[in-house]
Structure 1
């Protein structure tokens, strides 16, 4: 199951295990069960502390396997074969069950230990989803620490009947005690805030008590990370508050144009950014969304950034780097069926529609790349483009038109995403030349029409362009003295990671110059 190179690397990790790991496999006579047993046999051969039992007479999902340690009650189970992006989740779970100290802050571990009640989590994933592992690893960690918390990772492609019955059309989808708990990427702190009543208020009070900053960066993407590093290197008190560190980069898979790095992916780059920022004296406040900005008006000259949690942060200067989000098409059915056939990430949700018909809206690079990726998974893809021709790079178009199960329709204006009340079952578009209306029966619609800047929270404070972007000068200065901006949230053209990083460093230097002059 595992090749020699992976076995060598994995054995080095398993050498850190200090207590026995009992693995109980629930299997049947199917091919996937044989694959699971092969994987577990490989694991058993890599450490004398790992034992494997198999059962075919229990009521667990098959194939699946549970991890435990003698005398303990650890509730970690993998339903499916945790390879692909989830292989790291398996390795971490083995280490945690095997007694290796978890990489989590002491106060987070104590908060997990203090949770009371019974929490049975189930997370539906796809092995190609780069957002899923964070959820799986967070819930596995919580299960390893607190016996009241149990978690099962479920590969949706292997348990299609459950996916259909529970109407799951996006991953990760999390259930708690049989009820839907949440969708999308979540970390430990975010999950704790949802189940630990009073945690948000306590955290807000702690944040409000922090001393004022010289520069406060709002946003943790490439621009924000770059701004934080440049600010901290100047020796000034630097804070960074972010809805999620990494920002839009976390939703990006292949990155092949980041100079000096031949190829990487979004989550890896985001992890490297965070590691770099943490090597400096930067106060990082993650999972906190900004609600408003009050420019300096009092005698102390401090600005106030109010967070949705109720916390208030104060600073002499502010750098806004809140990035952008997926643009919506704003037609009937889009909001109603979001997560039920309307999707924005083909890498994450594509495997849920294996063998079915889907549509992609958007003929730029992201839309064409999505159609190419999906064509290898689904029955067929219909790509709809508003303009008379595709806008993607020629090399991508050549690949697209070589695929036999892709239909391209240009000059198409989407008028409605159709559904049966529970899930998407079609899309209606208008031919812009003839005015005729057409409907295509399908199971999912992937929307890929670009980004919209995250400026709703600051639109009444700084000058914005007609597209909602923050207007900045050559130094990143906005219309408000002391407030700077950088990255995809601004009017700077060409929304690229490497450009955002340069703009972030420039805004930090501009903010520093403002501080020494004022």
Structure 2
């Protein structure tokens, strides 16, 4: 059974036709039967990649060379890479369903265009000026309407600066991480393993200010 309805497929196909420029390379990581949502996630990615030839999907297993090279130890995981296979820092951990489905589509379009199209020049320059390694873990649930905004901020920062990694983490699928970082409400952005955090969907400038403080 298709995960994406026929009308939505037509809408997305048209969106890609009008907005995609370069190729988009997606690496999907699965853990077989041990992973509750891996099959559903792969089906979503298969259907998306079938809508435009510029979207390239590669399927990998945890524990294999590619997973170790990119440091992926959880599944389902979605990682965007460049044409040389290098990590672009845009990650999804958990199924991109509900409101996060649109986040995935928007990320594909941005990456195809070599970066975010809807950030101001001042914000872009501040992001590019980050000179330390930054990890942004954004905890979400698929039914949260405010979560995509927070994920997009993290992902757009990663697109603009190779020192930044933005991770969407589905809080219910990865309860151990939710407990580790005391996630009681979403979205919650954890910066550098808890050096700073932000609850709620906020403008990129707020996250930038917190990054500067750590």
TM bucket normalised to smaller: 0.7 to 0.9
Check the 8 A contact 1:80/1:158 in 2, yes or no: yes
Q: Within the alignment, does 1:95 sit opposite 2:109 as a pair?
A: yes
* Aligned position for 1:60: 73
Q: Within the alignment, does 1:42 sit opposite 2:40 as a pair?
A: no
Provide the C-alpha distance between the structure 2 equivalents of 1:178 and 1:194, rounded to a whole number of angstroms: 13
Provide the C-alpha distance between the structure 1 equivalents of 2:181 and 2:20, rounded to a whole number of angstroms: 37
CA deviation profile, 1:367-391 (whole Å, cap 9, x unmatched): xxxxxxxxxxxxxxxxxxxxxxxxx
Gaps of 5+ in 2: none
Q: Within the alignment, does 1:177 sit opposite 2:214 as a pair?
A: no
TM-superposed CA distance for 1:166, in Å, is 3.1
**Of 96, 121, 134, the match for 1:106:** 121
Q: Within the alignment, does 1:116 sit opposite 2:131 as a pair?
A: yes
The Cα RMSD (Å) is 1.7
TM-superposed CA distance for 1:14, in Å, is 1.6
**Of 139, 143, 150, the match for 1:135:** 150
Larger displacement relative to structure 2 (106-115 or 133-142): 106-115
Check the 8 A contact 1:102/1:141 in 2, yes or no: no
* Aligned position for 1:69: 82
* Aligned position for 2:203: 187
Instruction: Identify the structure with the greater helix proportion.
Output: 2
Question: After the TM superposition, which residues 348-427 of structure 1 pair with which residues of structure 2 at under 5 Å, given as runs?
Answer: none
CA deviation profile, 1:455-506 (whole Å, cap 9, x unmatched): xxxxxxxxxxxxxxxxxxxxxxxxxxxxxxxxxxxxxxxxxxxxxxxxxxxx
* Aligned position for 2:5: 3
Check the 8 A contact 1:79/1:152 in 2, yes or no: yes
Check the 8 A contact 2:21/2:113 in 1, yes or no: yes
Check the 8 A contact 2:23/2:112 in 1, yes or no: yes
* Aligned position for 1:350: none
TM-score, normalisation: structure 2: 0.85
* Aligned position for 2:29: 26
Provide the C-alpha distance between the structure 2 equivalents of 1:13 and 1:61, rounded to a whole number of angstroms: 31
TM-superposed CA distance for 1:161, in Å, is 2.5
1:167 match: secondary structure: coil
Question: After the TM superposition, which residues 51-450 of structure 1 pair with which residues of structure 2 at under 5 Å, given as runs?
Answer: 51-56=56-61, 57=63, 58=67, 59-71=72-84, 73-99=87-113, 102-179=117-194, 180-196=196-212
Provide the C-alpha distance between the structure 1 equivalents of 2:180 and 2:123, rounded to a whole number of angstroms: 35
Check the 8 A contact 1:127/1:155 in 2, yes or no: yes
TM-score, normalisation: structure 1: 0.37
* Aligned position for 2:14: 12
Q: How many residues align?
A: 197
Check the 8 A contact 1:121/1:149 in 2, yes or no: yes
CA deviation profile, 1:398-425 (whole Å, cap 9, x unmatched): xxxxxxxxxxxxxxxxxxxxxxxxxxxx
Provide the C-alpha distance between the structure 1 equivalents of 2:181 and 2:127, rounded to a whole number of angstroms: 28
Check the 8 A contact 1:68/1:97 in 2, yes or no: no
Check the 8 A contact 2:191/2:211 in 1, yes or no: no
Larger displacement relative to structure 2 (81-90 or 1-10): 81-90
Check the 8 A contact 2:41/2:96 in 1, yes or no: no
